[in-house]
C-alpha cells in the first residue's frame, strides 16, 4: 500500500511556494509518451523542464497532476488540459513557455510500483535544517557551555535532507572540538523507522561573547564589587568590542563617571583605584646607590598604582615627578625629573 500522506503534504508545500514566490521562467517541453514511476503523474513525468534555477525546476517537476492509469491501460492528455491542471495548481502560465508534443500518451505503471524519493519542498528543507541546528545547539549547551548563545548554520546534501525530513525522528549528535566555534564537524545519527542513518556534517558555529554590565546604577568614584555587575550577551550592545568580557576584569576598579543599570562597563568608565589624591600629603621614598631617604611632600595630581604624578616639597615648594606605589605613598629613583618650566635662554648683550 502506498502512503499518500507524504505526496499530499509535498503538493501542498509546492502549491504554497508557487503562490508565494514567482518562479524563474522555464521551458516545458512535452514528451510524446511517458510511463510514470509511481502512482501519481507529475509534471516532470510528462514534460522536460529547462530553467537556470535547479530549485525551481525541482519544484515544477514535483507538481502532481492526476493518478496514474492502471497497469496495461493508457491515458492521453492534451496540451490544453495540462495547462488547465497547472492553473489549478497555482502555476502562472505567463511565466513559462510550452514546446514539444501537442499531447502525451501516459502508459499504466507496473502492478508493483515503488515510489522514489521526491525532491523536498523548500519548507521541508528549512524544517530539516532547523531540526539539525537545534540538535547541534542542544549538544553544545550540554557539552560545551549552557550559558553561551550558540548560533549554528548547516548545509545538508539531498540525501541528508531526506534522512532528516521526518520531524518525529530523534537526532543524536557527537563530535566537535574546543573552542567549539568556527567550522566544526559533527556526527549525526537519525533514528528512522527503516533503521538508523549515520553521517557527518560540517557546521559553522558562532557564540557571541558576553559583556559585563551594571546590575544597578553606579555613581562616580565607587569601587566595583561582585554584586554590582553581571555578564550579558554582547549582541545587545553596539560597543561590545570596547567592553570587558570577564567579571574579574572589573572587580576592585573605580568608576570614572556614573553608569546606569543595564549599561556595559567600558575601558573609559573604569580606572584603577586612586591611591593618591590631589592635595594629599604623601610619603615619598627616594632611592639612589643604596641610599633610602623618606620624607613627605604634597601631591599635585590624582594617581593610581604605577601612575606618574607631580609632587611638591613642603618647604621649598620644588616640584618633581614620582611614581605611585601605595596608599599616599610615592617613589623616586636616582635623580628626579623636575616639573619646573624650562629656563629662559640667556640674552647676550652686544
Same domain, 138 and 195: yes
Asked whether residue 286 is assigned to any structural domain, the reply reads: yes
Range of the domain at 316: 275-333
Same domain, 262 and 226: yes
Asked whether residue 348 is assigned to any structural domain, the reply reads: no
Produce one character per residue of 144-181: b if its CB has 16 or more CB atoms within 10 Å, e if not.
beeebebebebebeeebbbbbbbeebebebeebeeebb
| Number of domain units in the chain | 4
Rounded Cα–Cα distance for residues 38 and 109 (Å): 7
pLDDT tens column, 138-172: 999 898 877 677 889 998 988 888 888 888 889 99
| Model pLDDT, residue 130 | 93
Same domain, 327 and 309: yes
Q: What percent of the chain has pLDDT over 90?
A: 22
Same domain, 111 and 25: yes
Asked whether residue 98 is assigned to any structural domain, the reply reads: yes
**φ and ψ of 219, to 5 deg:** -85, 165
Q: Using alpha carbons only, what angle is made at residue 207 by residues 201 and 213, rounded to the nearest 5 degrees? A: 170
Same domain, 221 and 152: no
Rounded Cα–Cα distance for residues 206 and 204 (Å): 7
Asked whether residue 340 is assigned to any structural domain, the reply reads: no
Rounded Cα–Cα distance for residues 7 and 282 (Å): 87
| Model pLDDT, residue 129 | 92
Please say which residue of 89, 116, 143 terminates a domain: 116
H helix or E strand, kind and range, residue 93:
none
Asked whether residue 14 is assigned to any structural domain, the reply reads: yes
pLDDT tens column, 77-114: 999 999 999 988 888 888 889 999 999 999 886 544 44
338 versus 86: the higher-pLDDT residue is: 86
Please say which residue of 206, 227, 256 terminates a domain: 206
Same domain, 288 and 264: no
Q: What percent of the chain has pLDDT over 70?
A: 82
End-to-end CA distance of the chain: 123
Please say which residue of 218, 251, 271 terminates a domain: 271
Same domain, 149 and 171: yes
Omega prior to 179 cis, within 30 of 0: yes
- Return all residues near 284 (Cβ < 8 A) that are at least 6 apart: 294, 295, 296, 297, 311, 322, 329, 330, 331, 332
Same domain, 11 and 102: yes
Mean pLDDT of 318-336: 80
CATH code (residue 308): 2.30.30.760
Q: What SS3 state is found at 75?
A: strand
Asked whether residue 341 is assigned to any structural domain, the reply reads: no
Rounded Cα–Cα distance for residues 18 and 20 (Å): 6
- Return all residues near 165 (Cβ < 8 A) that are at least 6 apart: 120, 124, 127, 128
| Model pLDDT, residue 345 | 59
Same domain, 190 and 233: no
The pTM assigned to this predicted structure is: 0.38
DSSP strand E in 15-135: where?
26-30, 33-34, 40-42, 47-50, 64-67, 74-78, 96-100, 103-107
Same domain, 14 and 102: yes
The rounded radius of gyration (Å) of the Cα atoms in the chain is 38
Per the structure block, which three cell numbers stand in for 25?
521562467
Same domain, 157 and 194: yes
Rounded Cα–Cα distance for residues 228 and 247 (Å): 10
Asked whether residue 108 is assigned to any structural domain, the reply reads: yes
Strand partners, 84: none
Same domain, 285 and 217: no
CATH code (residue 220): 3.90.1210.10
Rounded Cα–Cα distance for residues 185 and 286 (Å): 62
Q: Which of 301, 346, 293 is nearest to 319 (CA)?
A: 301
Asked whether residue 168 is assigned to any structural domain, the reply reads: yes
Question: If you write DSSP's letter for every residue of 229-288 in order, what string do you get?
Answer: EEEEEGGG-TTGGGB-SSGGGTTT-EESS-B-TTPBPBGGGEEPPEEE-TT-EEEEEEEE
Amino acid at each position: 500500500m502506498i502512503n499518500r500522506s507524504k505526496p499530499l503534504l509535498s503538493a501542498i508545500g509546492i502549491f504554497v511556494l508557487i503562490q508565494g514566490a514567482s518562479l524563474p521562467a522555464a521551458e516545458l517541453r512535452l514528451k510524446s509518451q511517458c510511463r510514470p514511476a509511481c502512482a501519481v503523474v507529475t509534471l516532470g513525468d510528462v514534460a522536460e523542464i529547462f530553467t537556470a534555477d535547479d530549485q525551481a525546476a525541482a519544484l515544477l517537476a514535483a507538481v502532481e497532476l492526476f493518478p496514474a492509469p492502471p497497469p496495461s491501460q493508457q491515458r492521453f492528455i492534451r496540451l490544453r488540459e495540462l495547462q488547465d491542471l497547472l492553473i489549478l495548481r497555482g502555476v502562472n502560465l505567463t511565466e513559462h513557455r510550452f514546446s514539444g508534443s501537442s499531447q502525451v500518451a501516459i502508459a499504466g505503471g507496473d502492478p508493483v510500483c515503488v515510489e522514489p524519493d521526491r525532491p523536498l519542498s523548500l519548507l521541508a528543507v528549512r524544517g530539516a535544517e532547523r531540526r539539525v541546528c537545534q540538535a547541534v545547539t542542544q549538544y553544545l549547551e550540554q557539552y560545551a557551555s549552557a550559558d553561551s548563545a550558540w548560533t549554528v548554520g548547516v548545509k545538508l546534501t539531498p540525501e541528508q535532507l531526506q534522512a532528516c525530513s521526518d520531524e518525529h525522528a530523534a537526532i543524536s549528535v557527537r563530535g566537535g572540538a574546543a573552542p567549539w566555534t568556527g567550522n566544526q564537524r559533527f556526527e549525526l545519527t537519525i533514528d528512522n523507522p527503516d533503521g538508523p542513518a549515520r553521517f557527518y556534517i560540517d557546521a559553522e558555529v558562532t557564540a557571541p561573547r558576553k559583556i559585563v554590565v551594571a546590575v544597578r546604577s553606579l555613581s562616580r568614584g565607587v569601587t566595583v564589587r561582585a554584586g554590582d555587575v553581571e555578564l550579558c550577551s554582547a549582541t545587545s550592545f553596539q560597543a561590545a568590542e570596547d567592553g570587558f568580557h570577564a567579571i574579574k576584569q572589573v572587580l576592585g576598579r573605580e568608576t570614572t563617571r556614573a553608569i546606569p543599570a543595564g549599561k556595559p562597563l567600558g575601558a573609559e568608565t573604569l580606572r584603577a583605584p586612586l591611591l593618591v589624591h590631589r592635595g594629599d600629603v604623601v610619603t615619598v621614598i627616594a632611592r639612589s646607590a643604596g641610599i633610602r631617604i623618606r620624607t613627605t611632600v604634597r601631591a599635585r595630581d590624582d594617581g593610581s598604582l604605577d601612575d606618574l604624578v607631580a609632587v611638591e616639597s613642603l618647604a621649598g615648594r620644588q616640584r618633581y615627578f614620582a611614581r605611585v606605589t601605595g596608599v599616599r605613598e610615592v617613589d623616586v629613583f636616582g635623580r628626579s625629573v623636575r616639573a619646573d618650566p624650562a629656563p629662559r635662554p640667556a640674552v647676550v648683550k652686544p
